[in-house]
Amino acid sequence: MHDNHDIDILISEVGPRDGLQSVKATMPTALKTAWISALAGAGLREIEIGSFVPAKLLPQMADAAQLVAHGRTLPGLFVTALVPNLKGAQAAFEAGVQKITVPVSVSEPHSLANIRKTHAQVIEEVRGVIALRNQHYPHVQVEAGLSTVFGCTIQGVVPADEVIRLALVMAGLGVDEVGLADTVGYANPTQVRQLFSRLRNELGTVAGSAHFHNTRGQGLANVVAALDVGVTTIDASQGGIGGCPYAPGASGNIVTEDLVYLLESMGLRTGIDIDRLVAAREWLQQGLPGEPLYGFIPDAGVGKNFHYAKDL
């Protein structure tokens, strides 16, 4: 488990997975490892280093096992990866990950489009992953990452009852956490408050992280709504890269740099040094020349009134 007693909010950096997976170019492994080291050096405690999928499908992710091995050498870093199925889970476990996230679309049409599986098939897949974990890799955590929970480009409205029903199924299968993701950037703060409240009431400690996209500019507002109802793990991506295949021209994930500023200025400790975090963008710029990077803090700086939470 994490040893995070000295921080209030855990930021899970998903740039190396959700970011790089969404970019056509493939970042060289040497630059990825330098980038991950720089992120960890800035104080990030959890990094999703990639996804375990066939290299022919996503060549950007072909070096996932190498990156796990590298991440495990970095002191204090918790190494996670995304896996779409049992085969991916097996590879991730063998590589030495400390946690896997299995994406589960609440919208069945999205599930069919994304991984060509019905809900019944996804449930069987997760059952197999949990059995494998319990038998051979008991120390690895398994998270079900529910996606399209706030709406879906294919299905449209996704009822909250459906989200909770599927979350309870996942908890029943034995996952350690159920996270909620706003895959297409439809969420608003009222909806976030209501859904995470219900999730926490129904699942208790199994209720997990929040993954928001900034597609329509609501990302940080949704973070504050999640904080209001007790969420303590938030996903973000350096430079806001990735996370937005369906909305051309829109930024995708919420920007790690801006999130750290928000939390620290609100008096919530993240353990992250903003200057070192902004400096880590250099590896991203080298690895993905010409790729747009987002964020206000890298351009504006933190301002004269800023203090880290620990100094407030």
160, 161, 166, 167 alpha-carbon torsion, rounded to 10° = 70
Q: What b/e string do you get for 153-184 counting C-beta neighbours within 10 Å, with b at 16 or more?
A: bbbeebebebbbebbebbbebebbbbbbbbbb
- State whether the Cα torsion 118-50-75-45 is positive or negative: negative
Cα 165 from Cα 76, distance rounded (Å) = 35
Residue 101's beta-bridge partner residues? Answer: 82, 143
Joined tokens for residue 205: 């400690």
Catalytic residues: 244
Cα 126 from Cα 280, distance rounded (Å) = 35
Cα 203 from Cα 172, distance rounded (Å) = 10
